Amino acid sequence: MIIDADQVRKVAHLARLEITDTEAAQLTTQLTGILEYFEQLRELDVSDIAPTARAIDVSNITRPDELHPYPHPETFLVGAPNPEGDFFKVPQIINTQDVEP
Amino acid sequence: MASIRELHQQLVSKERSCTEVTEAALAQIQQLEPKLHSFLAVTAEQALEQARQVDAQIAAGQPIGPLAGIPIGIKDNLCTQGIPTTCASRILQNFIPSYESTVTQKLQNAGAVMVGKTNLDEFAMGSSTENSAYQVTANPWDIERVPGGSSGGSAAAVAAGECVVALGSDTGGSIRLPASFCGVVGLKPTYGLVSRYGLVAFASSLDQIGPLAQSVEDAAILLGAIAGYDPQDSTSLNVAIPDYTQSLIPDIKGKRIGVIQETFGEGLDPVVEKTVQEAIQQLKDLGAEIKEVSCPRFRYGLPTYYIIAPSEASANLARYDGVKYGFRAEADNLLAMYKQTRSQGFGAEVKRRIMIGTYTLSAGYYDAYYLKAQKVRTLIKQDFEQAFEQVDVLVSPTAPTTAFKAGEKTTDPLTMYLSDLMTVPVNLAGLPSLSLPCGFDPQGLPIGLQMISNVLCEGILLQVAYAYEQATPWHKHSPQV
């Protein structure tokens, strides 16, 4: 196996996804199939080849660092899941217990 | 539905009002939507208001542009200020953008009438529009079948006359594949030709916005309206935009057309192969010089794409954390809130791609997958560069098959990915490409011919497509829904 269920759970944690045991099993099978499909790239020798990040590169695009006040800041807060005043409210960040698995 | 040019004539000659044209499109939507499900939202009120403004302009004797009063569908991954933009995802079900995308702003300024937001695979990830969290769009030629994806709503809406033209986005074939399956013209412009400001990002080195239309001419007019430099998009190309309608010359004598050998063979439906070969013969009959061209690394496009696109997607979709907008699952600590929000908000395919991308970018696997894919991308690009030293336009089938049945490919993700075999290498190289109808299979399903040209050579692409279209009857067929 290229990837096992433990690795799948680790990747899910990195991606901030919660997966059930059933999903972990299913994803292990599916990702194995997909990663095996990627194996064909081994047929190509790319040792002297430079990587392409963008097909058509436009680099060093800058703009003046100027402040443009947005006229309707309230529109951002209207759609927020839990706004309070001018803030986005989130659940407690620092916990007394270790929340990391 | 009439063409843009015909409708424009009717409007300026006051044969029909813009309100009447808009009402006709809305009536068609109302009649067909129970079967097709092309639209996630119909914006009737705003459409009629825009129509009234165009009518007032005409009444006041002011000149109107070619797109003024033309009913248009907008893929629901383009931000529209004050109008929900969901990306067909639960995670954005309550999202109302506070700004307008550059392309929709340009269309609004041109007087185009947006009739609604069209369905798509969630976050444009898919080849059948079945990954929408809200509804499955039907193919107007056979409602048991998929319209292709991810711009399936836009393609189905145009094919069925619910709007005259529509915008889609194409990361690996998401305009061309549905165009092929629905029998319409779909054009993916050169990477950077059209601003992506306000397009919800999927894979930023590949995404591009483009038109879906019933004819090459309509596609050319819409392309002209949306193309152009935009300082709001740092990948936008600062180039002069030609009048694409000037390229619509039905003469391709002496034009060099290359047939990509690697796109014919295993996995290609024999009916699609025969039909595309007939189309190539037709191009030859029209005076084009046909050459066999080899792109030896073409077939590596698919695995390369399915590393690069999910890698970029895993980074782009990290922003959906339930904090500032969209859906949030309540939890008692921040990490649990993130995880539950994303697990409940994203659908299976989006999660799968985030997983693939997170894995291929993770420490220890980055070189073997992501970096390797970027290097293969260079080889694929080189193949195209060499091909364009010999020819003006490359042709291939757009898809290995015609439209498949809903549910047929949903169990195995890899089978679904294979639908994109012919289209993804083009995005990796940033080239312009279109799909146009070139025939039907025995079940009456449309077959698409893919044409590809060199960077910023949309003109020659449109010229060859136009000459072919004018010499063949395919664009005159419409589905009976």
Give the 3-state secondary structure of residue B159.
helix
Spatial contact of B209 and B169, defined as CB atoms under 8 Å apart: yes
Beta strand spans in B361-480 (E): 393-397, 433-440, 446-453
- CA neighbor of B195 nearest in space, from B207, B213, B177: B207
pLDDT digits (tens, 9 = 90+) for A14-48: 999 999 999 999 999 999 999 999 999 999 999 99
What's the number of CA atoms in the CB half-sphere (13 Å) around residue A67?
1
Structure-token pair, residue B97: 């953008």
ω into B150 cis (within 30 of 0): yes
Structure-token pair, residue B319: 């922003």
CA distances from residue B435 to B141, B219, B293, B294, B462 in whole angstroms, order as listed = 17, 11, 19, 20, 11
Domain parsing of chain A, residue ranges: 5-42
A100 touches chain B (CB under 8 A): yes
Residues with Cβ within 8 Å of A23's Cβ and at least 6 positions away in sequence, in order, are none
- Pick from B232, B343, B367, B458 the residue to mutate for testing the A interface (most A CBs within 10 Å): B343
pLDDT digits (tens, 9 = 90+) for B413-466: 999 999 999 999 999 999 999 999 999 999 999 999 999 999 999 999 999 999
Q: Given this model, what pLDDT does residue B402 score?
A: 98
> Using 50, 70 and 90 to split pLDDT, how confident is the model at A78?
confident
A81 touches chain B (CB under 8 A): yes
Which residues in chain B show pLDDT less than 50? none
- Pick from A21, A37, A90 the residue to mutate for testing the B interface (most B CBs within 10 Å): A90
Give the 3-state secondary structure of residue B118.
strand
Examine residue B279 and state whether it is found in any structural domain, yes or no: no
- CA neighbor of B342 nearest in space, from A19, A93, A100: A19
Q: Write out the residue range of the structural domain in which residue B163 sits.
A: 4-257+390-476
Beta strands B113-118 and B71-75, pairing class: parallel
> Using 50, 70 and 90 to split pLDDT, how confident is the model at A59?
confident
On the question of pLDDT at A98 being above 70, the answer is no
Q: How many CB pairs under 8 A join A and B?
A: 169
List chain A residues with CB under 8 Å of B332.
Answer: 91-92
Burial of residue B52 (CB within 10 Å: 0-12, 13-18, 19+) is middle
Q: Closest approach of chain A CAs to the CA of B406, in angstroms?
A: 20
Q: Which amino acid is at B164?
A: V
Q: Complex ipTM above 0.90?
A: yes
CATH number at residue B100: 3.90.1300.10
Examine residue B366 and state whether it is found in any structural domain, yes or no: no
DSSP state, B326? S
Which of A11, A30, A56 has its CB closest to that of B455?
A56
Q: Is A40 in Cβ contact with B354 (below 8 Å)? A: no
In this structure, whether the domain defined by A5-42 belongs to CATH 2.60.40 is answered with no
Which of B327, B355, B375 has its CB closest to that of A49?
B375
d(CA B350, CA A30): 13
Q: Is A31 in Cβ contact with B191 (below 8 Å)? A: no
Q: Given this model, what pLDDT does residue B280 score?
A: 98
A51 touches chain B (CB under 8 A): yes
What's the number of CA atoms in the CB half-sphere (13 Å) around residue B450?
33
DSSP state, A78? H
Which of A31, A44, A91 has its CB closest to that of B332?
A91
Beta strands B209-213 and B185-188, pairing class: antiparallel
Write down the mean pLDDT value for chain A: 90
On the question of pLDDT at A94 being above 80, the answer is no
Q: Given this model, what pLDDT does residue A93 score?
A: 83
Please identify which residue in the block is written with the tokens 């740092």.
B234
Q: Is B352 in Cβ contact with A27 (below 8 Å)? A: yes
- CA neighbor of B257 nearest in space, from B452, B458, B459: B452
A88 touches chain B (CB under 8 A): yes
List chain A residues with CB under 8 Å of B340.
Answer: 18
Residues with Cβ within 8 Å of B303's Cβ and at least 6 positions away in sequence, in order, are A37, A38, A40, A41, B373
Which of A38, A63, A88 has its CB closest to that of B324?
A88
Q: Closest approach of chain A CAs to the CA of B403, in angstroms?
A: 23
Q: Which amino acid is at B460?
A: I
Spatial contact of B300 and B167, defined as CB atoms under 8 Å apart: no
Examine residue B364 and state whether it is found in any structural domain, yes or no: no
**Residues of B with a known catalytic role:** 75, 150, 174
Examine residue B274 and state whether it is found in any structural domain, yes or no: no
Q: Is A100 in Cβ contact with B354 (below 8 Å)? A: no
Select the more confidently predicted residue: A56 or B467: B467
Which of B95, B205, B355 has its CB closest to that of A54?
B205
Q: Given this model, what pLDDT does residue A99 score?
A: 53
Q: Is A58 in Cβ contact with B339 (below 8 Å)? A: no
Spatial contact of B254 and B289, defined as CB atoms under 8 Å apart: yes
Q: What does the CA dihedral B44, B47, B53, B58 come to, rounded to 10 degrees?
A: -110
- CA neighbor of B460 nearest in space, from B399, B397, B396, B394: B394
On the question of pLDDT at A97 being above 70, the answer is no
d(CA B150, CA B309): 14
Residues with Cβ within 8 Å of B342's Cβ and at least 6 positions away in sequence, in order, are A15, A16, A17, A18, B91, B320, B321, B322, B351
Residues with Cβ within 8 Å of B135's Cβ and at least 6 positions away in sequence, in order, are B37, B40, B119
Q: Is A17 in Cβ contact with B381 (below 8 Å)? A: no
d(CA B175, CA B180): 9
Q: Closest approach of chain B CAs to the CA of A8, in angstroms?
A: 8
Examine residue B66 and state whether it is found in any structural domain, yes or no: yes
Spatial contact of B158 and B32, defined as CB atoms under 8 Å apart: no
Tell me the β-bridge partners of B453. B393
Number of domains observed in the structure of chain B: 1
d(CA B224, CA B220): 6
Beta strands B209-213 and B165-169, pairing class: antiparallel
List chain B residues with CB under 8 Å of A8.
Answer: 355
Q: Given this model, what pLDDT does residue B53 score?
A: 98
Q: Given this model, what pLDDT does residue A96 score?
A: 63
A37 touches chain B (CB under 8 A): yes
Structure-token pair, residue B329: 């699952």
Q: Is A17 in Cβ contact with B343 (below 8 Å)? A: yes
